[in-house]
Amino acid sequence: MTYCVGIKLNAGLVFLSDSRTNAGLDNISTFRKMIIYERPGDRFMVLLSAGNLSISQSVREILQVEQLKERNEGEAITIWNAKSMFDATRVLGNAVRHVYDRDAESLKNAGVEFNVSLIFGGQIRGEGMRLFHVYSAGNFIEATPETPYFQAGESKYGKPVLDRVITHDTPLDEAAKCALVSMDSTMKSNLSVGPPLDLVVYEANRFETDKVVCIDVSNPYYSMLHNSWGQKLREVFDSLDDPVWDDTQTSIPLKVVGRSKPLKKITRPEERLI
């Protein structure tokens, strides 16, 4: 299992992935889930992958040479000459289908599902930043103002903090912090997600970045964030009033109203099965 998150903001893009891959409790390995495609001044793209490792690695290799040939057009489209992120993502989807056509039947015969989930985003000169989520069939959707981020892999533990914090106006550094908290929450609840973590922060219209970092558990900032987040959550929890059951106390009561009570079944001794 893995966890990846890509965030699209007015100020730029944030990408974060873990690197743990496991095939059982006694077979844990480290594989990078992030790859950067960069041509300074022209284009900057990041690919995050989750799912079957052999499939995602094959897709990544094919993507660099994959060509999308249009009818009645001369030059084939690749990620390096695509005029838009949409076209580059079409090339990625085509690479996924290429691997499916080649390997899906053999995987099925071996009892393995064709499972891959990809987050692909960046910016090509001439258009704004874009972020896509590509599925196992090669189809994809694009991030919108209502949905400014995508997750892949073990997403449920890290989603609540993203939903509460991330908007299009969130500053880049704050979004990077939120992504790391989201990852920390996931690692706390799921041992199949783990360090080192790969983090990329891209500023809009730069077409390159120097904010690329690999983070392990000994990283001072991550250690501070991990310890502080748990402590602050506990402090906020302790500051909330406990529930009360009537109006005699000053706290807001949980009203005891007959119709709102859940069913309570009482088993008489003589009704119990022996």
Q: At what angle do helices 172-189 and 220-239 cross, to 10 degrees?
A: 80
Distance of CA 51 to the CA centre of its chain: 12
The domain locations on the chain are 3-233
Altogether, the residues listed in the chain come to a count of 274
Mean pLDDT by 10 residues, the chain (274 residues): 93 94 58 92 96 91 75 76 96 95 92 94 98 96 94 92 95 97 92 89 97 93 93 92 74 62 62 53
| Cα–Cα distance, 209 to 35 (Å, whole number) | 13
Q: Distance (Å, rounded) from C-alpha 178 to C-alpha 164? A: 10
C-alpha distances in Å from residue 192, one per residue of 114, 150, 189: 20, 20, 9
**Cα(188)–Cα(269) distance, rounded to whole angstroms?**
44
Q: What is the fold of 3-233?
A: Glutamine Phosphoribosylpyrophosphate, subunit 1, domain 1 (3.60.20)
Q: 3-state class of 133 per DSSP?
A: strand
- Its pTM stands at 0.86
pLDDT reported for residue 20? 77
Which residues does residue 46 pair with via DSSP β-bridges, in sequence order?
36, 121
Q: What is the pLDDT of residues 70-100, one digit of tens each?
A: 555 667 889 999 999 999 999 999 999 999 9
Q: What pLDDT, on the 0 to 100 scale, is given for residue 264?
A: 61
The token duo for 270 is 């003589």
